[in-house]
Structure 1
Amino acid sequence: MDDQSGLPRRGFLKTLGSLTVGLAAFPGLASAQVGAPSRVAGAKYMGGFIAPKLDKVKVAIIGVGARGPTHVEQVAACEGTEIVAICDLYEDLCNTSKNIALRADPERHKDVKLYFGDKHEYRKMLAETKPDAVWIATPWEWHAPMAIDAMNAGAHAFVEVPMATSIEELWKIIDTSEKTGRHCMMLENVNYGREELMFLNMSRQNVFGEILHGEAAYIHELRDQMNQVEAGRGSGFWRVHHRAGTDGNLYPTHGLGPVAQYMSLARGDDNFRRLVSFSSPAKNNQLYAREKFKPDSPLNQIDFSTGADINTSVIKTAQGRTIMIQWDESTPRPYSRLNLIQGTHGVGAGFPNRLALNYCWNNATPALRKLLNLPEDKPDQGSDYHSWIEGGGFNAFYEYFDHPLYKRMAAIGLKYGGHGGMDAIMNFRIIECLREGMTLDQNVYEGAFWSSVAPLSRKSVKEDGMPQNFPDFTRGNWKTTKRLEVVI
């Protein structure tokens, strides 16, 4: 019997089945959450994990070129640490960082062992020195294998951004963390910036009202890294090639990490759901190479056209909130992370720091009444959210909303520095959590979600902006995971 379409019924059903399979292949039309592989037998969820206290933290550091020496200096300065090993391809870099540790405390760090020369020398280091914690500051493609090897060797892994470069690697990191019972935290230092911590505090105190939208970015013109390609060494030596060959958001976490924690994504309140992404043409790197380097330079043999100058992605959360994320390392443009959080009562934004809040006399706390200049004799007058609170007006908010962690560690940040002190606060806080037996401020799943924007954006761009669903790295446990509160 034929149906009214003219197709035989058997052929119609076959066509319908094929169409259903085809629709499922399109993330924008499929269910909004990608299925997760089963948790390994005997493994445990690490969302609120607290490791046993460590009176002394034996630390090894892999990669001491650009970021590594900062970690050496700051971790070595923390009470209760011992730098047991430093590993890099280059012997001179190892020696320089060993001297940094010795200057911090020659007694505690007197037995630093050095490993260099071979890209797998770190495995020998792990086996021989048996560190409690490993800091990893190497090229991106080494982050996942080194973190996995460190956890399998019994150490907690602290990995520079991004945590990994593919969804498959992120799942391997999570499975290893859950199986070994070892932390794997991405070293997202921007979450410890003063303004970011203050906006987190204000979000927890409901100053912005119900959160609706966020904006995040990594806008940082880095074309001068091309000089390191000719030198044959340095972060630019490998990072420039990523910019040339990758079309998507290469570096999403600096802007996204703080915004995700304002929103409590993957922590009970909400979660990542799907993403769409588009890129601009790639022009500026090629122009820069032609202007700055000779025609026979290796830089002018690179085809930058397969990358992008600017990538813009939009995330939709499970609760329907939105986040716009931008990446741009190539255009002549001032540095910005955007750092915008918008709620029903107002907005906080960065670069420059500013606020706009909508409060009337009756629903503002005494502190907000003072900050917003709400007069006592006009209780019906509201704040002027049509103009920004900037400069000294913004700075006045620090008195009431500076994060307690920042106030407690501000002197540490000032002394040891690193991006305005955020690096030092992050590293001192990590050691504090390990020694005191406290849960970390960032868990392995957050690092995975934030890092996954990179591969998902690449896939969306390749498919002309088709939506990509986030895997649920928590396997549903985000719903019962406690949000990050305002830690003291």
Structure 2
Amino acid sequence: MDEQTPRPPSRRTVLRSTAGAAGAGLGIGALGDRTAVAAPTTAPTAAPEAVTTPKRRGATMAGVPFEGRATVRVGIVGLGNRGSSMINNFLALPWVRVVALCDPVRTKVERASTSVVSAGQPAPALYAHGEDDYENLCARTDVDFVYVATPWDGHFPIARTAMLNGKHVGVECPAAMELAELWELVDLSEQTRRHCMQLENCCYGRNEMRVLRMAHAGKFGELLHGAGAYNHDLRDLLFSPTYYEGPWRRLWHTRLRGDLYPNHGFGPVAGYMDLNRGDRALTISSFATPALGLAEYRAARVPSGDPSWKETYVTGDRTISLLQTAKGRLIRLEHDVSTPHPYSRINSLGGTRGIFEDYPARIYLEPDHKDDQWGDFGAYAAEFDHWLWKEHANPPGGHGGMDYIMVYRLMQCLQLGLPPDFDVYDAATWTAPLPLSHASIKAQGAPQEIPDFTRGAWLGARAGVDSAKPS
């Protein structure tokens, strides 16, 4: 086990821990003590330690198209809040069939099956026989694509199993929790010739896609810096006895000190800067505040007999990371889910000709704007909105329609035999700040090298989310 990213108990253990305070105390208290902050015995290094890139075990998956098919057959693993909310996006597409559903909670599987049948599709196969029944779903011969929306520690083993069974797989954030797991996903994708994608819906937000096209059109001049975040007050949900199936998400705050959820902020900025497509992230330096917010919320809102009182929180209330790219650009990432503030992903991009900042959306570009007055970002919609948003002006689904746009585009690529907009190298890169921020914070902000998961392929330009509309 890599000391930098201590592994949590399995979801099975997490679910059992809700049965009583004793089990929670044994599982959580010990890990909390083990990850307590201690002063380093040596001064942090001035430069990151060189990372050895493993030898490629298969051909690159960059730019590799899917096999075209008339009907895309989907299996869904994980039917909690996220998984159950995404089913209707798949069912809205006439060339997609949901053929199998899996979750250890049978009532969730049955409820999702009702949605499938109500949409006019045949009843899907149901897998609800314990934590490992996803293996049987992945072994089916009538599944083309596996969608994974389980607790985080399930993402890697399920994605791994899907690829080994010849299935393309899309995983909710984050892709995995350890660098070694990210490398294994890369290797497996190359060896099996199956795509493994981080399903980063924020890359498909209307604002994000407009900024992307403007950046590629040169409206910002030479790009210099960007910022992204997941600043979202989740205290009510983290302590809710019903929102999550057990306390699995809150438990991560007892184990890792870094940015637990970098993908929503990093993915869009990575697209603006063409990371893995002409530039790449080289290093990350991370810093964290004390971890006070969850304990303070617990003291004010949670009864003294609740099992959560056995927990010791170590994740800083706000983490800030600075990444540098091969072209010298800077990216700032933030994470804060345990203090009160309005929702923000920051979503900022700056260059030699101006800057965009979101929440609220505002822009300042030369020669369009002057006198230190922000301009109207909406004025650029007609020229720079992505074709997906022009074709689907009022998309259904959650998060302002970006969920539907993401599913539509991915299923379109599968049907038409196109390369996906992002691939396993993006999944690994966007998730790497999770374990590396933890390592950097433990080393008092010492920079950590971000691996080149593409093994040199980043030097070549290629398409990404800024796609051309298929003919």
Bin for the TM-score computed over the shorter chain? 0.7 to 0.9
In structure 2, relative to structure 1, the CA distance for the partners of 1:279 and 1:435 (3 Å cut) is same
Instruction: Pick closer, same or farther for the CA change 1:243–1:114 going to 2, 3 Å.
Output: same
For residues 474 and 291 of structure 1, the distance between their equivalents in structure 2, rounded to whole angstroms, comes to: 47
Distance 2:49 2:89 in 1: 47
Contact in 1 for aligned 2:239/2:250 (Cα 8 Å): no
Runs of 4+ displaced beyond 3 Å: none
Question: In structure 1, what residue type is equivalent to 2:109?
Answer: C
Task: Say whether the 8 Å CA contact 1:48–1:481 is kept in structure 2.
Answer: no
For each residue in 1:134-181, what CA deviation from the matched residue of structure 2 results, as whole angstroms up to 9, or x when unmatched? 000001111011001001111100000011111000011011100111
1:28 and 2:47 aligned: yes
Q: Tell me the distance in 2 between the aligned counterparts of 1:457 and 1:46.
A: 27
Q: Do structure 1's residue 320 and structure 2's residue 335 form an aligned pair?
A: no
Identify if the C-alpha distance between structure 1 residues 131 and 27 changes in structure 2 by more than 3 Å, giving closer, same or farther. Answer: farther
Q: Which one has a larger percent helix, Structure 1 or Structure 2?
A: 1
User: In structure 2, do the counterparts of structure 1 residues 205 and 418 end up closer, same or farther at CA, with 3 Å as the change threshold?
Assistant: same
The answer on 1:253 being equivalent to 2:263 is: yes
1:452 corresponding residue in structure 2? 432
Q: Which has the higher contact order (CA 8 A, sep 6+)?
A: 2
Secondary structure in structure 2 of the residue aligned to 1:342: strand
Aligned pair partner of 1:357 in 354, 365, 378: 365
Say if 2:408 is the partner of 1:398: no
Q: CA deviation at 1:190?
A: 0.3
For 1:251, the aligned partner's letter is Y
- Given that 1:312 and 1:327 are in contact with CA atoms closer than 8 Å, whether structure 2 keeps it comes out as yes
Taking the TM superposition and a 5 Å limit, the aligned residue runs for 1:223-262 are 223-228=235-240, 230-231=241-242, 234=244, 237-262=247-272
Distance 1:298 1:410, change over 3 A: same
Whole-angstrom CA distance in 2 between matches of 1:419 and 1:289: 29
Distance (Å, rounded) in 2 between the aligned partners of 1:396 and 1:61: 40
Aligned equivalent of 1:407, options 378, 390, 408 = 390
What residue number does 1:101 align with?
A: 116
Aligned residues: 426
- The question of whether the paired residues in 2 share the 8 Å contact of 1:283 and 1:309 is answered with yes
In the alignment, does 2:351 pair up with 1:343?
yes
Gaps spanning 5+ residues in structure 1: where? 1-22, 360-371, 373-382
Matched, 1:264 2:279: no
Displacement after TM superposition at 1:26 (Å): 4.6
Distance across 1 between alignment mates of 2:46 and 2:75: 41
Q: Percent of aligned pairs with the same residue? A: 38
Q: Distance in 2 between matches of 1:153 and 1:130?
A: 11
Contact 1:60 1:86 (8 Å CA) reproduced: yes
Aligned to 1:472: 452
Aligned partner of 1:50 in structure 2 is: 65
Structure 1 SS opposite 2:54:
coil
Q: Which has the larger radius of gyration?
A: 1
Q: Does 1:203 align with 2:203?
A: no
The 1:385–1:47 alpha-carbon spacing in structure 2 relative to 1, beyond 3 Å, is farther
CA distance in 1, matches of 2:238, 2:212: 36
Partner of 2:193: 181
Q: Is the 8 A contact 2:113 2:123 kept in 1?
A: no
Q: Normalization by structure 1: what TM-score?
A: 0.84
Q: 1:71 Cα deviation (Å)?
A: 2.3
How much has 1:47 moved relative to structure 2?
1.0
- 1:473, CA displacement in angstroms? 0.3
| Whole-angstrom distance in 2 between the partners of 1:204 and 1:271 | 16
With over 3 angstroms needed to count, the CA separation of the structure-2 counterparts of 1:486 and 1:430, relative to structure 1, is closer
Q: Return the alpha-carbon distance in structure 2 between the equivalents of residues 123 and 27 of structure 1.
A: 45
User: Aligned match of 2:234 in 218, 222, 226?
Assistant: 222
Give the Å deviation of 1:27: 7.4
Amino acid paired to 1:258: P
Correspondence 1:133 to 2:148 = no
Displacement of 1:266 in angstroms is 0.9
Does the CA-based 8 Å contact 2:91-2:116 persist in structure 1? yes
Mark the CA change 1:429 to 1:235 in structure 2 (over 3 Å): closer, same or farther: farther
Instruction: Describe the SS at the equivalent of 1:421.
Output: helix
Deviations 1:432-471 (A, max 9, x none): 0000111111111011100001000000001111110011
Provide the C-alpha distance between the structure 2 equivalents of 1:165 and 1:27, rounded to a whole number of angstroms. 26
Q: 1:301 aligns with which of 310, 321, 344?
A: 310
Distance 1:465-1:110 versus aligned 2 partners, 3 A rule: same
1:85-164 equivalent positions in 2, closer than 5 A: 85-104=100-119, 106=120, 109-128=121-140, 130-164=142-176
Which residue is equivalent to 2:288? 279
The runs of 5 or more residues in structure 2 that have no matched partner are 1-41
